[in-house]
Amino acid sequence: MFQNFALIASVSGFLLHPAPAVAGTKDLESAIFQVIPFRGEPYVPIETRKEYVAALRSYWQNFDSRVPRLSPSETQWINDEIGAQGERLIRALNSKEYALFSLDRDIGDCLKSLVRLEKAFAEPSQNQTEMFHWLGVVQCYSDLDSMMDYLRRAGLSNGKFDGPFYAAGASLTMDTLLDKLIPSAMADTMGWTISAD
C-alpha cells in the first residue's frame, strides 16, 4: 500500500511540475532586440553583428521547427500541379500543401542566408560578401506578410504578427538591417566611418 502511495505521489509531483517550456518566437525575438537595441549607435561592430546572426538564427530555427514538412507524394503533387494550367494551378496555389511548400522554401532561404553570414565571418577572405548576405536576411522580413498568410492557410496560426509565430517587431528588425547592419558591413568593406551625424 505504501509503495502504491509513493508511486502516485511521484507521478503527481511530475504532473504538477511540467518540464520547462522551450523558448518560443516571442522570447527569441526579444533576444534579437537585446543584441542591438532599437536606439543606439549607427555603427555596429563585427562582433555584435555575429551575435545578431546567432540570435536571428535561433529565431528562424524555432520558426522552422514548428512547420510540418510535406510528404514526398505531396511534394510531387505540388510540383505537378504548379506545372499545370487553369483550375489545377489555382487549386494548388490555394492549397494547404502549397502554403507548407512555400513556408519550407522561404524559411529555408532565411536560414541559408544566416549560414552564409556565419561562413563569411569565419573566413576572412569572404568578409567583403557580408553585406550581400544581409540582403538575403532582408528578404525574410520583406516577405513576412506572405509567410503569415501561408501559416494561416496551413492552419498553424491566425495569420497575425502577434500570433503563435510571433513577429510583432519585424519592422524594427528590418530598420536595424537596413539602417545599421548593411551600412556597417559596407563601411568595414570600404574603410568608411559611420557617425551619428
Q: Is the pLDDT of residue 13 over 50?
A: no
Note the pTM of the prediction, 2 decimals: 0.85
Among 5-14, 25-34, 94-103, 168-177, where is mean pLDDT lowest? 5-14
- What pLDDT is recorded for position 194? 86
Query: What's the mean pLDDT when you consider all of the chain?
Result: 88
Q: What is the dihedral of CA 115, 116, 118, 121, to 10 degrees?
A: 180
Q: Identify the CA nearest to 111 among candidates 140, 144, 70, 143.
A: 140
- The set of cell numbers assigned to 114 is 544566416
Q: What is the 3-state secondary structure (H, E, C) of 15-71?
A: HHCCCCCCCCHHHHHHHHHHHCCCCCCCCCCHHHHHHHHHHHHHHHHHHHHCCCCCC
Q: What is the DSSP letter of 180?
A: I
pLDDT tens digit string along 107-156?
A: 999 999 999 999 999 998 888 899 999 999 999 999 999 999 999 999 99
Cα–Cα distance for residue pair 168/158, rounded to 1 Å: 13
Chain segment 18-38, per-residue pLDDT in tens: 333 345 789 999 999 999 987
